[in-house]
Amino acid sequence: MNEKEKRIFTLSNIEIRAGTEGSSQVIEGYASIFDSPTMIGDMFQETIAKGAFAKSLTGKADVRALFNHNWDYVLGRTKSGTLTLDEDEKGLKFRVTPPDTSWAKDLMIS
């Protein structure tokens, strides 16, 4: 039986910015920080190396930002332009414009 591997981690330095008149709010920050050891579910330690995301970013993969890893709650998507991803010296930076839904509004408030 193939089971999906689920990884949960804490994002830090997240910013929520109010949009200007007529535009939406955005969430941005780092989804992964390079060379920073992280415990994965008390099972093993993982360290992400610089360049780890380069192939996915240049391959134009259709990446989705999910709320709580739930496919029913897509915050943004690279294919639609509501999610942008960039790899810099620090890590994988993201910027997402959440949808105009009640659950996304609740998330932005919390």
Q: Structure pTM?
A: 0.73
Structural domain of 23:
15-109
Q: What tens digit of pLDDT does each residue of 18-61 get?
A: 554 455 789 999 988 999 888 887 888 989 999 998 888 888 78
Name 82's Cβ contacts closer than 8 Å, sequence gap at least 6: 75, 76, 96, 97, 98, 99
**Average pLDDT value for residue range 72-98:** 94
With respect to residue 67, please indicate whether it lies within any of the assigned structural domains.
yes
Q: What tens digit of pLDDT does each residue of 3-25 get?
A: 655 555 556 556 555 554 455 78
With respect to residue 2, please indicate whether it lies within any of the assigned structural domains.
no
Number of domains in the chain: 1
**Average pLDDT value for residue range 92-107:** 92
pLDDT of residue 21: 47
With respect to residue 70, please indicate whether it lies within any of the assigned structural domains.
yes
pLDDT, averaged across the chain: 83
